[in-house]
Amino acid sequence: MNPTDPPSSQPPSPPPPRAGGPRRDALAGRSGYDEAFLGPVVPLALPARTSVETVILPYTHFTVVFRPDRRLAASTAVCIEGRQLVEDVARDDIWEYDPRLPEEQQAGNDVYRNNSLDRGHLVRRLDPVWGAVAVAGQANTDTFFYTNAAPQADVFNQGKQLWQGLENYLLDHAAEFDRRLCVLTGPVLQDSDPPYRGIQVPLRFWKVAAFMQDGALASTAYVLDQSPDLSRDAERALAGAKAGAPPPLGAFRTYQVPVSDVAEITELELGPLPDVDLMPPLRAPEERWRRLETFDDIVMQG
């Protein structure tokens, strides 16, 4: 355009939608987690705890049960359709507040800024990304709300690698119902969790997987522990090296645990899942929480 020409009266073009799905200005149409995903005979309700206030937030193929008092999720539940997973959806990596909640009730970027904490996905990014391309893209985008994150150490080690690959491993054992899984996940929220920037940082996370095996409902449960080395001065470790510093979280340790133990430490109602646990209940006390070094260590026979 010539510099002497008058400016165009046309409005500027709107920015293109982000990779992974439509713009995030509306969540009203999200249907969330499907309690009958594994079949109407074995409905699985959202993990619930009636003694604390929670807000139910449905997204695409998953739902977050959110605790405003902790500014974090109490639990999440996702439906995974293994035969329809879409693997080539671009990672979004742009985190936003859920507009259905006040921002001050959510642990946002101020918690993760200029420190060693990662925004740890509770519902793994790839798990709800299945179905038609547009739906898969929307699900990918939905996993990047702060309501689906919790602080985790930024180190990457074998324990974390096992944790992140559990769903893939378990899908291979869910062929009886078209490789479908329901995965329930959340932080273990305890009053003793160390404070940092207006929240309390969870030291452990839990995961319960439900699927059909030999025509019957089955479950397994896991705990990820990022506690510091408590053989040293525990109070000093949890308080941080200096005032205002995040807790010095330890290396990730992944355990297979009884489903009933997850229900006990979280105080969540897990429905029929403790009764269909594939981990034998009568193990020696020192083996009740089974430290996983490889996927071959997972017990998959009741």
The pLDDT, as a whole number, for residue 125 is 92
Percentage of the chain lying above the pLDDT 70 cut = 85
The pLDDT, as a whole number, for residue 13 is 40
**Containing domain of residue 224, as a range?**
55-297
42 in a structural domain:
no
Burial of 187 (0-12, 13-18, 19+ CB in 10 A): buried
Model confidence over 128-184: pLDDT tens digits? 999 999 999 999 999 999 999 999 988 877 788 899 899 999 988 887 778 999 999
216 in a structural domain:
yes
User: Into how many domains does the chain fold?
Assistant: 1
Give the CATH number for residue 144.
3.40.570.10
pLDDT band per the 50, 70, 90 thresholds, residue 92? confident
69 in a structural domain:
yes
Between these two residues, 283 and 75, which has the higher pLDDT value? 75
Average pLDDT score, the chain: 85
What are φ and ψ of residue 82, in 5° steps?
A: -60, -30
Cα within 13 Å of Cα(108), Cβ side:
11
pLDDT band per the 50, 70, 90 thresholds, residue 25? low
pLDDT band per the 50, 70, 90 thresholds, residue 5? very low
* Distance in angstroms (rounded) separating the CA atoms of residues 252 and 233: 19
* Distance in angstroms (rounded) separating the CA atoms of residues 279 and 162: 18
Percentage of the chain lying above the pLDDT 90 cut = 62
41 in a structural domain:
no
27 in a structural domain:
no
Strands 290-291 and 253-257, bridge-based pairing: antiparallel
188 in a structural domain:
yes
Burial of 65 (0-12, 13-18, 19+ CB in 10 A): buried
pLDDT band per the 50, 70, 90 thresholds, residue 200? very high
Question: Is it the case that residue 255 has pLDDT exceeding 80?
Answer: yes
177 in a structural domain:
yes
Model confidence over 32-75: pLDDT tens digits? 999 999 998 889 999 988 889 999 999 999 999 999 999 999 99
Question: Is it the case that residue 229 has pLDDT exceeding 90?
Answer: no
The pLDDT, as a whole number, for residue 231 is 52
Of the ranges 107-111, 160-164, 233-237, which is most confident?
107-111
Average pLDDT over residues 24-30: 75
Q: DSSP alpha helices (H): ranges in 113-251?
A: 133-142, 158-171, 234-239
5 in a structural domain:
no
